[in-house]
């Protein structure tokens, strides 16, 4: 999938809203702009150069998954991630403690898993939003 196709997949989910800031596109559930469940970035900026995104066709998708999913993917803490590697799940360089993973230009089997993680992040954001609305 191309970057626009992934964006279309996310925005086709009910009640997804978007905003842009500092070169990132943030995807939120309904009016919950304070906590995006996904973000996309397609170019390096003054705040983030770790992934060398200025390469042709390279983008980074950041996804907020559940704690169990995150821990299953990354059972051990390591510091030697190559954040320029394509098509590989990694803990987000800044927001791993919030259970965000990242992947650069996913394809093949990694893309299939990526879509599942998008669905998971969406469901968590929806549940969080509805919980605040109801209680």
| pLDDT at 11 (0 to 100) | 97
- Asked whether residue 66 carries a pLDDT value surpassing 90, the answer given is yes
H or E segment to which residue 24 belongs = strand 24-29
Dmax (CA) of the chain: 46
**Average pLDDT in the 89-99 region?**
95
Looking up tokens 């559940």 gives: 66
* Whether domain 3-134 has CATH 3.90.1150.30: yes
- Asked whether residue 135 carries a pLDDT value surpassing 80, the answer given is no
Instruction: Enter the pTM of the model.
Output: 0.95
- Asked whether residue 54 carries a pLDDT value surpassing 70, the answer given is yes
Phi, psi of 16 (to 5 degrees): -85, 130
| pLDDT at 126 (0 to 100) | 96
More confident residue, 49 or 89: 89
Calpha distance 54→48 (Å, rounded):
11
pLDDT (tens digit per residue) in 7-27: 999 999 999 999 999 889 999
Q: What is the mean pLDDT of the chain?
A: 94
| pLDDT at 13 (0 to 100) | 98
Contact present, 73 and 35 (Cβ < 8 Å): no
- The DSSP letter of residue 31 is T
- Domains of the chain, by residue range, sit at 3-134
């Amino acid at each position: 999938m191309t970057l626009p196709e992934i964006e279309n997949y996310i925005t086709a989910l009910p009640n997804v809203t978007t905003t842009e800031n500092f070169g990132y596109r943030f995807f939120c559930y309904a009016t919950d702009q304070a906590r995006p469940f996904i973000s996309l970035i397609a170019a390096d900026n003054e705040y983030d150069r770790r992934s060398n995104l200025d390469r042709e066709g390279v983008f980074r998708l950041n996804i907020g998954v559940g704690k169990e999913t995150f821990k299953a993917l990354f059972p051990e803490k390591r510091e030697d991630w190559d954040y320029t590697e394509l098509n590989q799940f990694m803990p987000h360089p800044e927001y791993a403690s919030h259970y965000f993973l990242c992947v650069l230009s996913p394809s093949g089997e990694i893309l299939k898993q990526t879509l599942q993680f998008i669905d998971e992040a969406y469901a968590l954001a929806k549940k969080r939003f509805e919980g605040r609305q109801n209680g």
